[in-house]
Structure 1
Amino acid sequence: MRKIILLGLALASPLALAGPRCSEADKAQWQDPTKFQEQLKAQGYEIRKFKVTDGNCYEIYGFDKDRRKVEIYFDPVSGRAIKENIED
């Protein structure tokens, strides 16, 4: 019984850490990642890390125009922020 519980916890833990699901659209509809980052930089973001998540999001780590540390998930089609973590 103990092994079953431990196995269940091990399998469920990656799901608990997973980010949001941003898009179901075909990747042909996504914005160009380089142009998308350029648009964010023009808005004052400093991007330290950019990646595409398993949930089909563009995710950035860096700083906003006010120099606050940010982690933001974006819909790659619309560019809309889906989830934001901002540290003051």
Structure 2
Amino acid sequence: MKTMKLNQLAAAVAALTLSAAAFAHGEFKCDVPKAEWQPQTALQKKLEADGWKKVRQVKTENGCYEVYGFDEKNQRAEKFYNPKTFELVGEVKQK
């Protein structure tokens, strides 16, 4: 009986964690015509020049560039950038 309740609790915590991550991704949005976007590789080079230790991945999310890696403080980072200006739009706080 206790094992069943623990499993239910673990499932609830996992669901909350996943929904919080989904919300975090949805709160950042960029509205820039695709024709005005700069290449992802240009953003990666800029971040590395700004001191990022490692850019692991750059992808598109809600019209923004979403970047995963280790920032200038060598801390794990997930940040969103405007694809035209490379202005920081927001970030997901890491635990």
Structure 2-normalised TM-score?
A: 0.66
Secondary structure, in 3 states, of the residue corresponding to 1:47?
Answer: strand
Instruction: Give the aligned residue type for 1:84.
Output: E
Identity in percent: 32
- Any unmatched runs of 5+ in structure 2? 1-17
TM superposition shift of 1:73 = 0.5
Determine which structure has more spread, i.e. the larger CA radius of gyration: 2
Stretches of structure 1 that go unaligned for 5 or more consecutive residues are 1-12
> Normalised by the size of structure 1, how large is the TM-score?
0.70
| 2-structure distance, mates of 1:59, 1:78 | 14
Match of 1:27 among 34, 46, 58: 34
**How many residue pairs end up in the alignment?**
73
Aligned mates of 2:41, 2:57 — CA distance in 1: 13
After the TM superposition, list the runs of 4 or more consecutive aligned residues in structure 1 that deviate by more than 2 angstroms. Answer: 85-88
User: Using the alignment, how far apart are the partners of 2:40 and 2:80 within structure 1?
Assistant: 13
**What is the aligned-residue RMSD (CA, Å)?**
2.3
